[in-house]
Structure 1
């Protein structure tokens, strides 16, 4: 293995653009808490030895600025732009496409993997082909259909991030509520894509995180589960748009994460299937997998996050913390995983 002998490796850190609208965030824009998240990131990265970090968040001039970076002094990109190019989730894949065009190596998944995982219906199809259990579901186009469903059902967009379009009204128990939830998704969230009608599982929500690159150089972080014990009993137990973006909602601050309390066999199934999916869909360096248990305790895959939230209080950081890994150490592990994959090298 080649040793990198430069004093510091130069890293381009790609972020969302705080000066542009963001359709997912509260009020459709970056808020003080979002700026605080970025500041905490910078503080954590500054603790790492052997790196020089250069931050890029001006999306209108991103390509030109990255071209100048690439021609200056080597390095690679830390792609933390989970908002997507121009803060549009549907353009999340455009960032790796741009980096590849410019010849800049980067952390995380490529465009093809991001495209597949952005569409939850495609993820379900791939998982089913691998024999990995998923909730029963139906997919709607632009118009609703008369379907015979087993309630309760959760209504959610097939292509969206950050809990977009998922509220307490998304859990429906009859056809009247179903039509109302579909109408809300179309009119209130202005969502025009495919809709998933999915059986609403009653068990715990479980998240699995992987850092590294299987099969030989990776670690599975401790599994976590959502704790809804402080949520009013009349509300469905979900971590949707309200819990992430609406401080006035009863969901705000009610969802906490705790180490997953699972039978060993269930834990093994989630870990092994997550590893298999990581490789089969083309994840790289780090990823998160969201599961939910049915009423019998059987895990079913909900979605794959190949470019998961990296913030200090996000699910990945919580899993790392339970495993004794600090926030700066987690970021460093992601960097080292990318370096081993890209350069087959380590910093001295």
Structure 2
């Protein structure tokens, strides 16, 4: 195999009087002359000159970044890696626009060029030299990785390319995105130019030869670059793999990526001559669904070990529109895990397989400090069995966050909560309770009225069709709801209040630390006027519904009304034995008087839920909200700062527990 010949230095720097061979002349087989590491020596000053119309043009770069940010939906606070960044043109443009981007490339010359440009422009862009197969970054670092400029497919084997994708999998966060800019191999196999030549500028031209490799999977190229004064300055060979759309899809899937999408683009060039591998390209995007990597705790640091209980994504869930966990559910879980990772002094084990939950918890007894109970779906994703989870933990003697089984049983029954509230002198709407056997009933209230299941959560069974304006409507709504939830369920017919729809969140416990979060109200201004103003199932689960446009805002209430509502919530929190965190839903009547609708112990913990929104209005991050729930439970346990903490890594859990995927 013959090395490439370069004479990329001034003529007077070469030894005079000694002949140097500047070109190999005709060669019968281009592939024989390609070194396996050809990419180590080719990306230099000449590369920027011969390909500068494509790879060093600011207008083209800006256009490409416009497309990239649009396709990936990049957000300014996301961290982006520009892999094989070359002279950093894309990295620098992203940083100019305020994105948090950095670049890596194996070429010392190009990285120095990138750093020099960043310094001249005063940009805080970071560049590193490195190998794409062994990235010098920690796991779960980036929200997006870009591989641009046809920089994928340089190695001798597909397995080496797969190593790159596996490294991307490692450094990407869960739900991170990758964007590959790859030549259209299927097109190029039939349309590559075997020979071409062109003037790069008035002083330099390049001649190119191309052929397919023996196996037909790579395009072999040769470039002979000639200076009019100096003669041949480079004779170089390189090879790039020709991926078809299907073969690239399969490779991405092998690396664990999904949501693979191809976006055809046209190569921009002012030269419009031989564009080679850049003639026709694909933009390929994919999403990574994975678990957060295990955090290693170093030295003598000690961390509380917390097991997190979740719903089971492998089982049906009747409350969800599709009756199964979907991408939104997995994204919500990953956001929660990301937030927990930000908390110092903890390590978390996630449990979501309900078939083995009892055995897994038994194995964990004595190995965890306590359980963060986020299994609001209920045992086996049955909301009627939400209370079974804390009951199981109590039988096993494992401390846990949130309310106990008695509190969950109280609050699951809306009529029972109404009775407790009325006994305490807390106002509630007029209502009528209908048992499964009732065929006649006396509503005894003015219309309009709303019909809802007496038990349940997630607003199941509460939609725009739940509101009745006449007695005939009321009969129809009752019959329809019975058909939906089952004739063995009790119903609650309640006066439909038309004032502000407000929620109160509490984190802590009345006996100790306790925070009442800012009260929020639902903004119904985007709803069509003919629709009833309520925040039901459609607002929480159906993105195509007009109710999806409802937003929660800080409530604007009279001071006295706010005091009454907060005082009642604190009293109910204690009376119903709620613990650590809770949400209370109220509605004002037409005169502005508040009336209690529901009490929600262990309310929705998701990143975009009501409790998280209230916390945000209080200046508390999502991570901070979860941390406060943990601290509230620890205070209730009487757990001191170091009590129960164990050195990370000391206890080893079975793989079937620690690697559960939620």
TM-score, normalised relative to structure 1: 0.96
Alignment match of 2:561 (pick from 266, 269, 284) = 266
Residue by residue over 1:29-61, the C-alpha shift from the partner in whole angstroms, topping out at 9 and shown as x without a partner, is 111101110000000001111111000110111
CA distance in 1, matches of 2:575, 2:390: 19
Specify which structure has the bigger relative contact order, considering alpha-carbon pairs within 8 angstroms and separated by 6 or more residues.
Answer: 1
The residue number in structure 2 matching 1:80 is 374
Whether 2:567 is the aligned partner of 1:289: answer no
Residue by residue over 1:190-224, the C-alpha shift from the partner in whole angstroms, topping out at 9 and shown as x without a partner, is 36311000000010111001111114420100100
Whether 2:538 is the aligned partner of 1:242: answer yes
Whether 2:512 is the aligned partner of 1:227: answer no
CA distance in 2, matches of 1:149, 1:77: 45
8 Å contact 2:430–2:445 — kept in the other structure? Answer: no
After TM superposition, give the deviation of residue 144 of structure 1 in Å.
Answer: 3.8
8 Å contact 1:157–1:191 — kept in the other structure? Answer: no
Aligned length: 342
CA distance in 2, matches of 1:141, 1:269: 33
8 Å contact 2:431–2:445 — kept in the other structure? Answer: no
Unaligned runs of 5+ residues in structure 2 are 1-299, 644-662
The residue number in structure 1 matching 2:450 is 154
CA distance in 1, matches of 2:355, 2:413: 26
Where in structure 2 are the equivalents of 1:263-342 lying within 5 Å? 263-342=558-637
The residue number in structure 2 matching 1:20 is 315
Over aligned residues, Cα RMSD in angstroms?
1.4
8 Å contact 1:59–1:86 — kept in the other structure? Answer: yes
SS of residue paired to 1:331: helix
CA distance in 2, matches of 1:6, 1:304: 40
The residue number in structure 1 matching 2:505 is 209
After TM superposition, give the deviation of residue 145 of structure 1 in Å.
Answer: 2.0
The residue number in structure 1 matching 2:392 is 98
Alignment match of 2:638 (pick from 335, 338, 343) = 343
8 Å contact 1:336–1:346 — kept in the other structure? Answer: no
The residue number in structure 2 matching 1:47 is 342
SS of residue paired to 2:302: coil
The residue number in structure 1 matching 2:353 is 58
After TM superposition, give the deviation of residue 247 of structure 1 in Å.
Answer: 2.6
The residue number in structure 2 matching 1:130 is 424
Shift in CA distance, 6/339, structure 1 to aligned 2, threshold 3 Å: farther
The residue number in structure 1 matching 2:411 is 117
CA distance in 1, matches of 2:312, 2:352: 5
CA distance in 1, matches of 2:542, 2:471: 27
8 Å contact 1:340–1:346 — kept in the other structure? Answer: no
Larger gyration radius, structure 1 or structure 2: 2
CA distance in 2, matches of 1:53, 1:335: 12
After TM superposition, give the deviation of residue 189 of structure 1 in Å.
Answer: 3.4
Q: Which runs of 4+ in 1 moved over 3 A?
A: none
After TM superposition, give the deviation of residue 176 of structure 1 in Å.
Answer: 1.4
CA distance in 1, matches of 2:301, 2:506: 29
After TM superposition, give the deviation of residue 255 of structure 1 in Å.
Answer: 1.2
CA distance in 1, matches of 2:386, 2:408: 7
8 Å contact 2:407–2:601 — kept in the other structure? Answer: yes
Residue by residue over 1:110-157, the C-alpha shift from the partner in whole angstroms, topping out at 9 and shown as x without a partner, is 000000000000000000000000000000011342324411000000
CA distance in 2, matches of 1:215, 1:69: 29
**Which stretch shifts more, 145-154 or 191-200?**
145-154
Shift in CA distance, 115/183, structure 1 to aligned 2, threshold 3 Å: same
The residue number in structure 1 matching 2:331 is 36
The residue number in structure 1 matching 2:130 is none
Alignment match of 2:465 (pick from 169, 176, 189) = 169
CA distance in 1, matches of 2:487, 2:451: 12
After TM superposition, give the deviation of residue 165 of structure 1 in Å.
Answer: 0.4
Residue by residue over 1:235-278, the C-alpha shift from the partner in whole angstroms, topping out at 9 and shown as x without a partner, is 00111111112233222x22100000000000001111000000
TM-score, normalised relative to structure 2: 0.51
After TM superposition, give the deviation of residue 347 of structure 1 in Å.
Answer: 5.2
Whether 2:490 is the aligned partner of 1:194: answer yes
CA distance in 2, matches of 1:6, 1:338: 22
CA distance in 2, matches of 1:92, 1:188: 21
After TM superposition, give the deviation of residue 234 of structure 1 in Å.
Answer: 0.5
CA distance in 2, matches of 1:102, 1:24: 29
Unaligned runs of 5+ residues in structure 1 are none
**Which stretch shifts more, 182-191 or 21-30?**
182-191
